[in-house]
Structure formats: structure tokens, C-alpha cells
């Protein structure tokens, strides 16, 4: 008695125990769903010990969390009327009263520096002393603000467009916690909506905490949509093929339990739900249905052959068990290769995906035979799909192509390879944080608004280490920073920078009675006078703390980036780096660029390199599986060609369609390769059995294998195609691209496995059709019975 015969008897005889165990484990995993956490930060794609991460951690240690700003703005000119102007400033004060807020800055909070010659210090006085009641008073404040206070330009207003904004600083300790989400949804958004309604003013909202929160909520909303759509579409296709409510119900039961397991494992491992992790539950549905197709199709074939239910159920497990195990192992292997990357995000995705793919195989193998064991035999109408003429016509067409038009198959393949290679050279790399965000959502439109008005919302930080205490306030250091500041201002993709320079320039302006033309760095003669005034002004210490550390050794320059890709960022980085090297001698200064945006962009390049390794590892791993199964080097090469070919076509399409290589799209190749190789295994397993039965006659064996496996391969490929197409309804650009590209790749893989693979076997028959080349496998995929021996 072989292994799978023992397994089949164990499953069918102990069916009640098996169902209880499945129910208990499902209940346990369902209880773990409460520990699922949603991501409150952008994914850090770099390992913790990477140089870029070390520099970013140092920055956080010196200056704290950079991404704690929520920004409100309006470009409505009616805001400069008394009622609306006062309401705008009162909104800021209201936010300031909430415990989640550190402080807020609006026009009403502006304090001017005024020279106090007697005390030799700068006094701080409000921009206006009494609440404006007439439009003339408001316009006077506006003129004072726009004409005489360049310090606040591009911070609280845009002088050119008249747009004003309020900056809300969240407490740093809640920025990366659920409290941030509660504040934004329960306080911030309702207050803004009320203000808009009361004052008929449109408010734009942005800032990294706000974007992260709205984006995370979008991910949560889409998980449910994906799961429902995946279940609905795969069920419809399944029913169309099998015309059986019973079979469709059993399949839905299997994949529904698989979804519970997927969520349960995420909670059990305490992983965060990111854009990637959100794909796993619907992915399990899409991958689980083909398992059901193979098992149910085999069961119905056996019933049609001899009508004995017990024998049919036993043979489903013994005949299909090994084949579905190996195909699920290869699919899981495609995902498991992510575990070997240095990216925590990909490791977690790989672990959960591979565990759940094996989990859905176990569920299908256990539940489908057991459920059918409680039901009567399928009726004749349920078996009619096995003799459908249109399916026979498709298989006959494929057989005709392979038999009579192999040259056309090879010519088409070569043309597609050449065209794809051209497309590959057109692919660009993108590492933008917001590129994949839903462009139809209001928060994305607000990002674009802030880019146009204020130059961007993603912080790019430059840390300057002067290597000595109070080195920042040396005039030589300030002048070097000013030179770097000029370069930043010249780059259109960056906003005007904010640093201690702004405060020093403002101090000089205040020293000269607030005249705007003196908003500049002091010279050597002025420096001591002005800085002595500044040191005596304790009111400015809080402002200074944001730009200079407590020892006066480290300074930061903050600018904000527009939504730019990796290629443009590298050019900007190089330009800034050249300026740094020119202005800051290494023996006196250590200067580093950092910030969340830069960490993400660098992480993208790192991730792409890791995923190339991951794909190579997947190909190697699956080649080893082939060697283990077929023990033939030539067969390994022949089996890999039809699966690598679709990947090349997809890469070419990405080039032609302008779809960039980025974290979401690079996954396509490993996922598609791991899934598409399943068809190859099914085909070659049957082909090997036919070779033995037909005394190593290639042609008969190839055509028999094509007829036998063609229907199931066609069914599963159609399910996979439409299943992955579900992801194209997403509002996330990366998820749309992932779904579309995997669907196209798997469609090409089906055609490749049904036309190119048999053509290669026929053309190379003299090379491979002998017992020495095609040895007895280490492990039987199909039992001898599968070859037709009863």
C-alpha cells in the first residue's frame, strides 16, 4: 500500500475527526484575527543595519519624528474677510486645545521679532493686537504678512497665489500609533467638514500623518472588496465550467476557510497589514480554486468511469494528491523565496503567503473528498461538462497547431522575444511614496495641490555635523549652509528650505527695524551684535530647537519633495551631494541626506536588487524540483523555457506601456513564475506516464498528455486570469498593475505550456525520448493507475 493510499483511507475513515480538527484550528486562527495590526508608517524596505537607516535613526534621535505635521490650506480669497479670517484662526486654536496636538501655527499665532535696544534683545509681539472687525483691518494684516514677513513665506502663505495654511503639529509619541487614526477620523475630519459647511470654504488637508492614515483606511476598505469579488468571480467561472451548485458550494467553503486562515496567520504572527499583505486573502482564493478544479474534475471523471463513490473518492486522493501537492509546493516556493531577501516587508509577505498556499492545499485535499462522501453521486447533468464539444474543439485546435504548425509556434516565439527585449530596455524604475496611492481620492488631489502651491509634502532632511559645540552659529557655517540653500531653491522639484538660516536672517531684518530688504545673513561686523540679541531672546528658543540640537553642534535643513521617481531623485541627490562636497570640507563637517522620502526611494532600489535575487532563487528552486521529479537535465531546460518566456513578454509590455519597475510590479515575476510552472508539472507528469505506456513513442505520448491535461489547464488558467484581474478594480496603482500583469503573464504561460512545450518535446524527441535521458523519477507524481491501469 503506497503513501497516498494510506492517506486516503485515513481521511475517509476518520472524516468526522478530520472535520472537528479543521473546525478547531479554524476557530483558533479566527481568534487570532483580533491581533491583526494595520500599518501606521510607510514600509521600510531597507534592513535595520543599512547605512541609510542608521543615518535616519540618528536624525530621529537628534530632532525627533519628522513626519508629525498635518497641514491645512485654502486658496479661497474670501478667507480675507473678517468673519472667515477670524474663523480660520479660531479653527487653529480649537485644534490646539486637543490633547493629541503639540501645538499649531496659523496666521493668528504669528509673532514678530522687534528690536529692544535698551535690553539688547528681540522682543516678540503678535502680528495684530485685536481681532479684526472690518475688511480694511484684515487687508492691513494681509499686507503686513505678505510684504514684510518673508520668514513665513512658503510656510504659512504663498505670496504669489494668496494661499494661506495652518500647520498642526501632532505629538510625536502618537504619530505611529492607532491614536493618530482616531484623532484624524473622529476629530480632525469632522471639524474640517463643519468649518467648510459653516464658512463655505474648501479646505485642503495633507501632511505625512494624514496621508498615511487615509491610505491605510483605503487598504482596509479594499481588502473586503477584493475578497468578495474574488469569491464571486471565481465561483461564477467555476459554476460555468461545472454547472453544479454542489461543487461550487464546496469550493467556496474551502476557500472561505482559507481566507479565515490567512487573516488568522497574519494575526498569529503579529504582522502589520500593508498594501502587500492585503493581497494575500484574495490571492488564496484565486490559488485555491484551481486545486478544487483538479480534485472535483478527477472525482467526476472517476464517477463517470465506474460509478463507485468510495472508489472514486479514494482515487481522487491517491491520483491527484501528489500532483496537487507538488504544484502547491512550487507555487509556495515562488513566494517563499521572498523570505531570503533582506527586506522585512517581503519576508513577512513570503512567510504568510507560502504557509497559506500549503494550507489551502491541505484544506482542499481534506474537505472536498469528505464533503462528497456525505452526498449522493453526481447526476448525469453534472458530468456533461466532461464531454463539452467546445472544450474538445479547443483541445483539438491545440493538437493541430502542435502537429502541423510548429514552425509558426517557433517563429511567433522568436518575434515576441525580440519585441519583448526592445520593451525591456524601455522600462524605468520608480520609487515614489505616493505614486501608487489612489489618484481618485481627495487626499491624493490635495497632495497635488500642496505640490503646486508649496513645493511638496514629503520631507527631505540634511543633517550638518559641525564636529564641535555651538559650531552651527559660526558665520562660516551659516554661509556654507546658505550656499547649499541656494542650490536647493534652484531645484524645481524641491520646496524652499527651512533651517536656522531663516531665523538668523529674520533676526537681521528685526535688527534693522523689520525692513524686508535686510532679510539676509549678517556680515562679520553685524554678526556679534545680532547674535547677542538673539541669545538674549529666550522666546525664540523653541523655534531654534527645531533646527539646531541642544549642543549647537548639529543643524538640519528641511525641504519638501514633489512626487518624483527614483531616476529624478538620483539626479537631485547627486547635485546636492556635489554642492555639499564643495562647500563642506570633510575634515570639518559631516553632512548627510536623510528623511522618510529618501529612505523609501533608496529602499526601492534595494528591493529591486533583492527581488532579482528572489526571482533567480525561485527559478533555481523550481529547477531543483524538476530535477527531483524527472531526473533529467534536458527536461529541466525544456520545462523552464515555457515559463521564463511569459515573464519576458510581461517585462516587454511594462516597457511599452510605461509601467515602471517598483515594489508592487516587481512581485509579478516571482508570483507568476511560481504559479505558471504548475501547468508544466501537470503536463510533464502525464507525459512521462504516457511515454512508459506507449513504449517511449514521443508523438503519441505528447498528444495523449495534451488531451488529458489540456482541459484542466485551460480551466485553471481561466480562473487564475479572471481571479487576478479582480485586483485591477483597486484604487492603488501598484495593485492594479500587479493584477493586470499577473493575469497577462499567466495567460501567456497557459498558451506557452499548451503550445510551445509540446512543440519542444516533439522537435527534440530524438534527444530526450530514451530511458537514459528520462529516468524513473525519485517521486511518482501520478500513480500507475493514472496511466490507465485499473
Helix axes of 208-242 and 245-268: crossing angle, nearest 10 degrees: 150
Mean pLDDT of 753-769: 77
pLDDT of 291: 86
pLDDT of 538: 52
Q: Which three cell numbers stand for residue 692?
A: 512508459
Report how far Cα 146 is from the mean position of its chain's Cα atoms: 42
Per-residue confidence band for 194, with pLDDT thresholds at 50, 70 and 90: very high
Does residue 234 register a pLDDT over 60?
yes
Whole-angstrom distance, CA of residue 81 vs CA of residue 76:
11
Whole-angstrom distance, CA of residue 215 vs CA of residue 227:
19
pLDDT of 384: 67
Whole-angstrom distance, CA of residue 209 vs CA of residue 182:
12
Q: Which long-range contacts (CB under 8 A, 24 or more apart) does 122-130 make?
A: 122/507, 122/510, 122/511, 122/533, 122/534, 122/536, 122/537, 122/539, 122/540, 123/537, 123/539, 124/537, 124/539, 124/540
SS (H, E, C) 311-376: HHHHHHHHHHHHHHHHHHHHHHHHHHHHHHCCCHHHHHHHHHHHHHHHHHHHHHHHHHHHHHHCCC
Most confident among 117-131, 580-594, 674-688, 768-782 (mean pLDDT): 580-594
Residue in this structure with the C-alpha cell 494595520, named with its chain if needed: 38
Question: Is 203 exposed, middle or buried (CB count within 10 Å of its CB: 0-12, 13-18, 19+)?
Answer: buried
Residue 735: CA count within 13 A, CB half-sphere: 24
The residue with greater pLDDT, 656 or 771, is 656
- Residue 511 makes CB contacts below 8 A (sequence gap 6+) with 115, 122, 518, 522, 526, 529, 530, 533
| Domain residue extents for the chain | 3-41+213-425+600-787, 68-110+149-206
Per-residue confidence band for 784, with pLDDT thresholds at 50, 70 and 90: very low
Pairing of strands 37-38, 272-273: parallel
pLDDT of 626: 73
Under DSSP, is residue 19 helix (H, G, I), strand (E, B) or coil? helix
Which CATH superfamily, name and number, covers 3-41+213-425+600-787?
A: Multidrug efflux transporter AcrB transmembrane domain (1.20.1640.10)
pLDDT of 585: 93
pLDDT of 790: 41
Give per-residue pLDDT as tens, 580-637: 999 999 999 999 999 877 887 777 777 777 777 777 877 887 777 777 766 777 777 8
Whole-angstrom distance, CA of residue 576 vs CA of residue 618:
39
Whole-angstrom distance, CA of residue 417 vs CA of residue 126:
70
Q: Which three cell numbers stand for residue 50?
A: 543599512
- Is the full-model pTM beyond 0.85? no
Mean pLDDT of 530-555: 71
Residues in the chain, total: 790
Which CATH superfamily, name and number, covers 68-110+149-206?
A: Multidrug efflux transporter AcrB pore domain (3.30.70.1430)
Residue in this structure with the C-alpha cell 501645538, named with its chain if needed: 103
CB atoms within 10 A of CB 238: 25
Give per-residue pLDDT as tens, 350-373: 899 999 999 999 999 999 999 988
Per-residue confidence band for 40, with pLDDT thresholds at 50, 70 and 90: low
Q: Which three cell numbers stand for residue 210?
A: 494624514
Q: Which of 758, 763, 698 is nearest to 402 (CA)?
A: 758
Give bridge partners of residue 548 from the DSSP assignment: 555
Give per-residue pLDDT as tens, 662-690: 767 777 887 788 777 878 877 887 787 77
Does residue 543 register a pLDDT over 60?
no
Helices (H), 631-697: 633-657, 663-693
Does residue 213 register a pLDDT over 60?
yes
Residue 430: CA count within 13 A, CB half-sphere: 22
Amino acid at each position: 500500500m503506497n503513501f497516498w493510499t494510506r492517506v486516503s483511507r485515513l481521511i475517509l475513515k476518520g472524516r468526522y475527526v478530520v472535520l472537528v480538527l479543521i473546525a478547531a484550528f479554524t476557530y483558533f486562527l479566527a481568534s487570532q484575527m483580533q491581533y491583526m495590526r494595520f500599518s501606521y508608517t510607510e514600509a521600510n524596505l531597507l534592513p535595520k543595519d543599512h547605512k541609510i537607516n542608521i543615518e535616519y535613526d540618528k536624525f530621529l534621535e537628534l530632532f525627533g519624528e519628522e513626519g508629525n505635521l498635518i497641514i491645512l490650506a485654502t486658496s479661497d480669497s474670501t478667507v480675507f474677510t473678517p468673519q472667515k479670517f477670524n474663523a480660520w484662526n479660531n479653527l487653529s486654536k480649537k485644534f490646539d486645545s486637543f490633547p493629541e496636538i503639540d501645538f499649531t501655527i496659523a496666521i493668528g499665532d504669528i509673532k514678530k521679532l522687534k528690536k529692544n535696544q535698551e535690553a539688547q534683545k528681540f522682543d516678540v509681539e503678535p502680528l495684530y493686537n485685536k481681532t479684526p472687525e472690518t475688511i480694511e483691518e484684515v487687508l492691513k494684516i494681509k499686507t503686513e504678512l505678505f510684504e514684510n514677513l518673508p520668514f513665513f513665506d512658503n510656510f504659512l502663505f504663498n505670496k504669489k497665489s494668496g494661499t494661506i495654511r495652518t500647520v498642526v503639529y501632532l505629538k510625536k509619541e502618537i504619530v505611529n500609533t492607532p491614536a493618530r487614526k482616531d484623532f484624524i477620523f473622529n476629530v480632525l475630519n469632522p471639524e474640517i467638514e463643519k468649518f467648510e459647511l459653516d464658512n463655505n470654504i474648501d479646505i485642503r488637508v495633507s501632511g505625512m500623518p494624514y496621508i498615511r492614515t487615509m491610505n491605510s483606511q483605503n487598504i482596509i476598505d479594499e481588502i473586503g472588496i477584493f475578497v468578495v469579488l474574488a469569491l464571486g468571480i471565481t465561483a461564477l467561472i467555476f459554476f460555468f465550467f461545472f454547472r453544479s451548485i454542489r461543487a461550487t458550494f464546496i469550493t467556496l467553503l474551502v476557500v472561505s476557510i482559507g481566507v479565515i486562515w490567512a487573516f488568522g496567520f497574519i494575526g498569529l504572527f503579529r504582522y502589520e497589514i500593508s498594501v502587500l499583505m492585503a493581497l494575500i486573502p484574495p490571492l488564496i482564493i484565486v490559488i485555491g480554486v484551481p486545486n478544487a478544479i483538479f480534485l472535483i474534475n478527477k472525482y467526476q471523471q472517476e464517477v463517470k468511469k465506474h460509478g463507485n463513490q468510495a472508489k472514486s473518492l479514494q482515487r481522487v486522493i491517491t491520483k491527484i494528491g501528489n500532483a496537487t501537492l507538488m504544484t502547491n509546493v512550487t507555487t509556495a516556493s515562488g513566494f517563499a523565496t521572498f523570505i531570503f531577501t533582506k527586506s522585512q516587508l517581503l519576508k513577512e509577505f513570503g512567510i504568510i503567503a507560502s504557509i497559506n498556499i500549503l494550507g489551502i492545499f491541505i484544506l482542499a485535499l481534506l474537505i472536498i473528498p469528505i464533503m462528497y462522501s456525505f452526498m449522493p453521486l453526481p447526476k448525469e447533468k453534472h458530468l456533461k461538462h466532461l464531454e463539452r464539444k467546445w472544450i474538445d474543439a479547443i483541445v483539438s485546435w491545440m493538437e493541430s497547431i502542435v502537429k502541423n504548425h510548429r514552425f509558426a509556434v517557433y517563429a511567433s516565439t522568436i518575434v515576441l522575444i525580440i519585441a519583448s527585449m526592445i520593451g525591456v530596455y524601455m522600462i524605468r524604475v520608480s520609487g515614489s511614496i505616493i505614486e501608487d496611492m489612489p489618484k481618485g481620492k481627495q487626499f491624493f488631489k490635495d497632495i497635488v495641490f500642496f505640490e503646486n502651491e508649496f513645493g511638496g509634502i514629503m520631507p527631505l532632511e540634511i543633517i550638518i555635523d559641525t564636529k564641535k559645540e555651538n559650531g552651527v552659529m559660526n558665520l562660516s557655517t551659516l554661509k556654507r549652509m546658505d550656499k547649499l540653500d541656494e542650490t536647493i531653491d534652484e531645484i524645481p522639484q524641491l520646496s524652499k528650505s527651512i533651517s536656522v538660516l531663516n531665523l538668523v536672517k529674520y533676526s537681521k531684518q528685526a535688527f534693522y527695524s523689520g525692513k524686508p530688504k535686510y532679510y539676509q545673513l549678517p556680515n562679520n561686523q553685524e554678526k556679534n551684535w545680532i547674535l547677542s540679541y538673539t541669545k538674549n531672546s529666550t522666546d525664540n528658543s523653541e523655534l531654534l530647537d527645531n533646527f539646531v540640537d541642544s549642543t549647537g553642534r548639529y543643524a538640519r535643513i528641511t525641504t519638501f519633495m514633489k512626487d518624483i521617481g527614483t531616476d529624478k531623485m538620483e539626479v537631485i541627490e547627486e547635485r546636492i551631494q556635489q554642492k555639499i562636497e564643495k562647500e563642506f570640507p570633510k575634515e570639518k563637517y559631516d553632512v548627510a541626506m536623510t528623511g522618510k522620502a529618501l529612505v523609501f526611494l533608496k529602499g526601492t532600489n534595494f528591493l529591486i536588487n533583492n527581488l532579482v535575487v528572489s526571482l533567480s532563487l525561485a527559478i533555481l528552486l523550481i529547477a531543483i524540483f524538476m530535477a527531483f521529479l524527472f531526473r533529467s537535465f534536458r527536461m529541466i531546460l525544456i520545462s523552464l523555457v515555457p515559463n521564463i518566456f511569459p515573464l519576458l513578454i510581461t517585462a516587454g509590455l511594462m516597457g511599452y506601456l510605461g509601467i515602471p519597475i517598483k515594489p508592487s510590479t516587481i512581485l509579478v515575476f516571482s508570483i507568476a513564475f511560481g504559479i505558471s510552472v504548475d501547468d508544466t508539472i501537470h503536463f510533464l507528469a502525464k507525459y512521462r506516464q504516457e511515454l512508459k505506456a506507449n513504449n517511449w513513442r514521443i508523438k503519441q505520448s505528447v498528444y495523449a498528455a495534451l488531451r488529458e491535461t489540456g482541459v484542466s489547464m485551460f480551466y485553471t488558467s481561466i480562473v487564475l486570469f479572471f481571479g487576478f484581474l479582480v485586483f485591477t478594480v483597486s484604487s492603488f496603482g501598484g495593485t492594479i498593475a500587479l493584477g493586470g500583469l499577473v493575469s497577462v503573464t499567466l495567460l501567456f504561460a497557459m498558451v506557452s505550456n499548451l503550445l510551445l512545450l509540446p512543440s519542444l518535446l516533439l522537435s527534440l524527441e530524438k534527444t530526450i525520448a530514451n530511458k537514459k535521458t528520462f529516468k524513473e523519477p525519485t517521486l511518482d507524481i501520478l500513480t500507475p493507475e493514472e496511466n490507465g491501469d485499473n
